[in-house]
Amino acid sequence: MPWTKISIEKTAIDFPDESSLGRSRRFITYGESIREALKQALKRDKNVIVLGEGVDDKSGIFGSTLKLNESFPKRVFDMPIAENGMTGVAIGAAICGMRPVLVHMRMDFLLLSLDQIFNHAAKISYMSGGKAHVPLVIRSIIGRGWGSSAQHSQALHALFMHVPGIKVAMPSSPYDAKGLLLSSIADNNPVVFIEHRWLYDVKGFVPEDEYFIPFGKGVVRRKGKDVSVVAISLMVVKALEAAGKLKEMDIDIEIIDPRTLNPLDEDLIIKSVKKTKRLVILDIGYKTAGLAQIILGRIHNSIRKYLISDVEIVSLPDTHTPSSSKLEEKYYGGMDDIIKAVRKAYGK
């Protein structure tokens, strides 16, 4: 079936209650779920191509492209380390009717392609009066622990939220990774698809068939009554870990995972805050002009009448990433930081 015939809303399925899955449960890793989505997209449509840095590497980018080039030798291929150039190639291919999935291994070096992304991919549909489209997916990896310090560790998702015409997805689970990637490939707009390195080995339930998660539809990862916690990517996992400790302190948190940052499910966040009257935002990027400030800029007028405490934010400090593992522990927010922020919001 061509992508243009797909109704994302009609083919979307909500994450099921695991107790209802019975023997049909199948658990695979985050990396495997991305590979499965790519394989199904390549089988569905001959116009889908996968290109970029390390695509044919023996590790398969943490297993996410493993042996795909053997099954699709003409449509899965490596590119030279020339970020601006390969992004231009992918944009041109998209304009001409292909559906490229471009792999930028590290988000830091995506900066070398910003002119291509911001001034071309994001604007071509608008400037052509809707006659041209750029169905391009840019996969980019973030994450700590590289030991590569300030130039290989940045999470710059907020930067891409500032530009109209670009969609941003940040899946936190294997289930979301597959469903959001298939939706991204089916979309006629450019999508920056951001993956966290620490999530690749996380296992979760993933259906074998194709399924699609609509953009702009967040999910409640944990229901609670005391504090609303908005978390993205790896911070969703950290929040779920902290929830148990907080429960022992008689603080019941509700965890909201937006899943996509642009578009953002503002209504889901507002609905949660209306119930709990407290808000904590967990980011993996910088605080200044970061995700939390963007979210608050969009919803503050809608939630301020409900809030009974200040909004608390856990994010990176406005300083460069250290390479020392000991300093990294101080630099990145963890369970203690989450618990401290929630307790402060709750007044306990």
Specify whether the CB–CB gap between 37 and 68 falls below 8 A.
no
- Eight-state DSSP code of residue 117: I
Q: What is the pLDDT of residue 234?
A: 95
Active site residue 152: yes
Q: What is the pLDDT of residue 62?
A: 86
The ranges assigned to domains in the chain are 3-205, 219-346
> Tokens in use for 298?
């969009």
Cα–Cα distances in angstroms (integers) from residue 175 to residues 108, 236, 253, in the given order: 26, 14, 23
Average pLDDT over every residue of 328-332: 85
Specify whether the CB–CB gap between 227 and 254 falls below 8 A.
yes
Q: What is the pLDDT of residue 111?
A: 93
Catalytic residue among 32, 36, 104, 152: 152
Q: Tell me which CATH code domain 219-346 carries.
A: 3.40.50.920
Q: What is the pLDDT of residue 3?
A: 63
pTM summary value: 0.93
Distance CA(206)–CA(29), nearest Å, equals: 9
| SS3 of residue 147 by DSSP | coil
Q: Is the pLDDT assigned to residue 13 strictly greater than 80? A: no
Specify whether the CB–CB gap between 182 and 212 falls below 8 A.
yes
Distance CA(155)–CA(117), nearest Å, equals: 17
Please name the residue that has the structure tokens 């990176």. 316
> Tokens in use for 348?
């306990």
Question: pLDDT by residue (tens digit) across 61-119?
Answer: 888 999 999 999 999 999 998 999 999 999 999 999 999 999 998 899 999 999 999 99
Distance CA(51)–CA(73), nearest Å, equals: 11
Question: pLDDT by residue (tens digit) across 279-319?
Answer: 999 999 999 999 999 999 999 999 999 999 999 999 999 88
Distance CA(100)–CA(97), nearest Å, equals: 9
Q: What is the pLDDT of residue 147?
A: 64
Distance of CA 94 to the CA centre of its chain: 22
Active site residue 133: no
Q: What is the pLDDT of residue 59?
A: 82
Q: What is the pLDDT of residue 262?
A: 97
Q: What is the pLDDT of residue 24?
A: 57
Distance CA(51)–CA(33), nearest Å, equals: 18
Q: 3-205 and 219-346 share one CATH topology?
A: yes
Catalytic residue among 83, 195, 254, 312: 83
Please name the residue that has the structure tokens 């023997």. 23
Cα–Cα distances in angstroms (integers) from residue 35 to residues 231, 240, 244, 253, in the given order: 25, 26, 32, 33
Q: Is the pLDDT assigned to residue 28 strictly greater than 80? A: yes
Question: pLDDT by residue (tens digit) across 109-142?
Answer: 999 999 999 999 999 999 999 999 999 999 999 9
Q: Is the pLDDT assigned to residue 223 strictly greater than 50? A: yes
Phi, psi of 212 (to 5 degrees): -130, 130
Specify whether the CB–CB gap between 194 and 165 falls below 8 A.
no
Beta strands in the chain (DSSP E): 27-29, 48-52, 76-78, 99-106, 137-142, 167-169, 191-196, 203-205, 219-222, 227-231, 253-257, 260-262, 279-286, 312-316
Q: What is the pLDDT of residue 20?
A: 44
Query: Mean of the per-residue pLDDT values for the chain?
Result: 91
Distance CA(231)–CA(223), nearest Å, equals: 14
Architecture of domain 3-205: 3-Layer(aba) Sandwich (3.40)
Question: pLDDT by residue (tens digit) across 153-173?
Answer: 889 999 999 999 999 999 999
Distance CA(182)–CA(166), nearest Å, equals: 17
Q: What is the pLDDT of residue 268?
A: 98
Distance CA(314)–CA(316), nearest Å, equals: 7
